[in-house]
A and B are shown apart, each in its own frame.
Chain A
């Protein structure tokens, strides 16, 4: 401080450069320009391919969004990075696999009422599978919370974190046992046939056996279903958090746990409900992911879980719109960097983006500055 007093009032050019923070910004702008230039180049080379990448990125982004919401809600309320969340997502995928490929649950209405229109029966059946997965995941998460996290609520935060890592390992390696999920990749049957559309002078349906005409952007009913289901769940979540009493209590607990308790809120119950809602969304994401990639695997939750977590941090952890925005950015970043920069480097690029965003906004895009605890 003493030095700043003794500096002469006339600020030298070098001082002015330092004060304006221009060097650091120039670095960031240079990186952004390089990436932007590559994207513009890709766009001008083939606008159709670029649009296709964007469409694929949206599909991935919405799945990430559903997982990211669970992270962000749990973090907002108990300040715990719930590393087991990605594995809850994996369990959701396996519920879908068992329900559809093993027990043909998606056909229950069609079997019960053969006269019903098959499309409607299939729709109800698929929704049943999603709901079942959501219920199983919610139950699993509440069980985990009760057994592993609740006794540690007043312990140091790191103990809960290590416990979360332990639960994550347990779910993975228990799942890898031969009589549970087996350590292999398993092909997952889709509950409904794929219908593909392409946009080329209007919207057309791709007939079976037909090849996609060049210069068209394709998308399938999987994208439509992922989009509809995610948006529906997001609106529902927003409604619960903003308009219901439970949501109000959740926000109160997130803001100040002890005061919320004084106001007569059942804090433990609200925390359990938060875990349940987050896990239910991850369960739905698991079904959608299993449908989109038609493959399930005991360790499949690790990377999507991590990326969803990164998305939550990117958007500002604790913020629901932030999680959605962050997930969409992550989806695009992954697809575009795989398409235009370097396929093997796409995970590294996603994390580089995260670090760069954190450097500019240390608490994420929509994150509030950390409150000082008195």
Chain B
């Protein structure tokens, strides 16, 4: 097989490796102390959440404030898996979560298949069926999981402890993304049909519900090790810069390739004009669900990375006030600009948590949050379209569909829609 790559692709990959290596060298040589090391990793996690939101809001036009809730779900799910492995020497979290993810996913697929034969089912009924399926699959999964805990624990224990921890960690990240995606699928089913602002409020409600549940995770949910409002401690700190950079790169490439495909153009067409998209034969509900689920998957993965940076989780981190952070980053970087989002996330972390903390004199730390909204205000007044507007790096730009009003030289919109339609029909 002959691998052919565009020049900009090579340039991008080389640049990504260079940036990774540069930061890695700085960390290894100790030029970046722990403080900056942590901030860079936090920035990477934030970039992944924001990329997810950019997909949902920037490219699909769904005003979601629920991103932070999925981030929280990912963080706690992954933390529970690694905590049980590291502190309790049991693979119970891993096995049960894996089973839940697999069986719930299977039940979704089965219900989806069954429902696709029945036309005209209302979203609420579909939601009820999926809910019943989820609960049933969950119970079965826990029962199967109990049986598998012992053998899996013994297999993993046979490996060297460091390797076993890394394996558990990586699987936990993937499971965290998967569980966030499944929850978002279930939640998005009835809610995505709401109008834009109402959808925003419903997702804000989701974030608040998740936060309240986490506040009571030890009593109501029965996860004693999460310790509810006291905060979860003892999570292994295994998120290195390598893992952050790795998952960020994957998120970027997935976003870019998705948006390049006819599927991606269908997603963007929903943002541009829902009714016109529908008239062109695009399954609007399907595109919305796809973007929402994928965005939430990113959030779950980012949450898992975040949980293992400080080794400490507190429900207050997932307060709804903070759920505006990814939204602010996406708008600040430039709505619908992947480059802007990544830059925005790192700038947000570096400036707000790093530089402002250092330059403000003793006793003036609280001024950070006075300066930051003022900056945001000035920014919005001077550049409402965000820092980067619609600018993209060549690797991303060559491909991404332009915003409305700009001439699209590479491909006419009609061709894009026709492509999406053809793909939809072939299924």
B208 at the interface (CB under 8 A from A): yes
Which chain B residues numbered 119 to 162 have a C-beta less than 8 Å away from chain A?
119-129, 131
Which chain A residues numbered 348 to 374 have a C-beta less than 8 Å away from chain B?
348, 351-352, 354-355, 358-359, 362-363, 370, 372
Indicate if the CB atoms of A177 and B212 lie closer than 8 Å.
no
B235 at the interface (CB under 8 A from A): no
Binds B, one of A13-21, A40-48, A55-63, A288-296: A13-21
User: Chain A's nearest CB lies how many Å from the CB of B236?
Assistant: 29
User: Chain B's nearest CB lies how many Å from the CB of A201?
Assistant: 41
A162 at the interface (CB under 8 A from B): yes
User: Chain A's nearest CB lies how many Å from the CB of B332?
Assistant: 8
Please give me the residue from chain A that is nearest to B368 by CB atom.
Answer: A173
Partner of A27 from B121, B127, B321, B384 at Cβ < 8 Å: B127
Indicate if the CB atoms of A22 and B366 lie closer than 8 Å.
no
Indicate if the CB atoms of A170 and B125 lie closer than 8 Å.
no
| B contact residues around A209 at 8 Å (CB) | none
Partner of A163 from B128, B197, B380 at Cβ < 8 Å: B380
B118 at the interface (CB under 8 A from A): yes
Which chain A residues numbered 165 to 219 have a C-beta less than 8 Å away from chain B?
165-170, 172-174, 176-177, 183
Indicate if the CB atoms of A170 and B373 lie closer than 8 Å.
yes
Please give me the residue from chain B that is nearest to A14 by CB atom.
Answer: B118
Please give me the residue from chain B that is nearest to A178 by CB atom.
Answer: B366
B 319-332 binary contact with A (CB < 8 Å = 1; else 0): 01100100110011
Partner of A363 from B119, B195, B332 at Cβ < 8 Å: B195
B216 at the interface (CB under 8 A from A): yes
A158 at the interface (CB under 8 A from B): yes
A246 at the interface (CB under 8 A from B): no
| A contact residues around B367 at 8 Å (CB) | 177
Indicate if the CB atoms of A358 and B202 lie closer than 8 Å.
yes
Most chain A CB atoms below 10 A, which of B195, B327, B373: B373
CA distance A172 to B374 in the complex (A): 12
Partner of B331 from A23, A162, A170 at Cβ < 8 Å: A162
Known pairs A348-B208, A354-B205; A26 contacts B377 (CB<8 A): no
Please give me the residue from chain A that is nearest to B207 by CB atom.
Answer: A351
Binds B, one of A147-155, A254-262, A263-271, A278-286: A147-155
Indicate if the CB atoms of B195 and A352 lie closer than 8 Å.
no
Indicate if the CB atoms of A167 and B128 lie closer than 8 Å.
no
Indicate if the CB atoms of B381 and A151 lie closer than 8 Å.
yes
Partner of A362 from B63, B195, B328, B372 at Cβ < 8 Å: B195
Known pairs A156-B335, A165-B324; A23 contacts B370 (CB<8 A): no
Known pairs A170-B373, A345-B220, A348-B208; A159 contacts B197 (CB<8 A): no
CA distance A42 to B166 in the complex (A): 51
Indicate if the CB atoms of B198 and A362 lie closer than 8 Å.
yes
B194 at the interface (CB under 8 A from A): yes
Indicate if the CB atoms of B370 and A173 lie closer than 8 Å.
yes
CA distance A166 to B331 in the complex (A): 12
Indicate if the CB atoms of B127 and A342 lie closer than 8 Å.
no
A54 at the interface (CB under 8 A from B): no
Partner of B195 from A7, A18, A25, A370 at Cβ < 8 Å: A370
Give the size range of B's interface with the partner: 35 or more
Known pairs A162-B376, A313-B201, A363-B195; A27 contacts B131 (CB<8 A): yes
Q: Is the interface of B mostly helix, strand, loop or mixed?
A: helix
Indicate if the CB atoms of B380 and A3 lie closer than 8 Å.
no
Indicate if the CB atoms of A306 and B320 lie closer than 8 Å.
yes
A-B interface contact total, Cβ < 8 Å? 153
B215 at the interface (CB under 8 A from A): yes
CA distance A155 to B372 in the complex (A): 21
CA distance A158 to B127 in the complex (A): 30
| B contact residues around A347 at 8 Å (CB) | 208, 212
Indicate if the CB atoms of B125 and A21 lie closer than 8 Å.
yes
| A contact residues around B328 at 8 Å (CB) | 162, 165
A9 at the interface (CB under 8 A from B): no
| B contact residues around A118 at 8 Å (CB) | none
CA distance A148 to B209 in the complex (A): 31
Partner of B373 from A19, A166, A351, A359 at Cβ < 8 Å: A166
CA distance A309 to B198 in the complex (A): 12
User: Chain A's nearest CB lies how many Å from the CB of B387?
Assistant: 12
| A contact residues around B324 at 8 Å (CB) | 165
Please give me the residue from chain A that is nearest to B216 by CB atom.
Answer: A344
| B contact residues around A330 at 8 Å (CB) | none
Indicate if the CB atoms of B370 and A174 lie closer than 8 Å.
yes
| B contact residues around A351 at 8 Å (CB) | 205-206, 208-209
CA distance A362 to B201 in the complex (A): 12
Most chain B CB atoms below 10 A, which of A79, A151, A347: A347
| A contact residues around B275 at 8 Å (CB) | 372
CA distance A163 to B193 in the complex (A): 27
Please give me the residue from chain A that is nearest to B127 by CB atom.
Answer: A24
Which chain A residues numbered 118 to 155 have a C-beta less than 8 Å away from chain B?
148, 151-152, 155
Known pairs A21-B125, A24-B124, A162-B331; A152 contacts B220 (CB<8 A): no
B240 at the interface (CB under 8 A from A): no
| B contact residues around A155 at 8 Å (CB) | 380, 384
| A contact residues around B129 at 8 Å (CB) | 23
CA distance A352 to B121 in the complex (A): 23
Q: Give me 5 other A-B pairs in contact (C-beta within 8 A), A162-B327, A310-B205, A355-B202 excluded.
A: A27-B127, A162-B332, A344-B220, A348-B208, A352-B205
Instruction: Please report A residues at the B interface, Cβ cutoff 8 Å.
Output: 3-4, 7, 14-15, 18-19, 21-28, 79, 81, 148, 151-152, 155-156, 158-160, 162-163, 165-170, 172-174, 176-177, 183, 302, 306, 309-310, 313, 317, 342, 344-345, 347-348, 351-352, 354-355, 358-359, 362-363, 370, 372
- Some 30 contacts from A to B, beta carbons below 8 A apart, are A3-B119, A21-B125, A22-B125, A24-B122, A27-B124, A148-B377, A152-B381, A156-B384, A162-B331, A162-B380, A163-B376, A165-B328, A166-B377, A170-B370, A172-B369, A174-B370, A176-B366, A177-B370, A313-B201, A344-B215, A344-B216, A345-B212, A347-B208, A347-B212, A351-B209, A358-B191, A358-B194, A358-B198, A362-B194, A363-B198
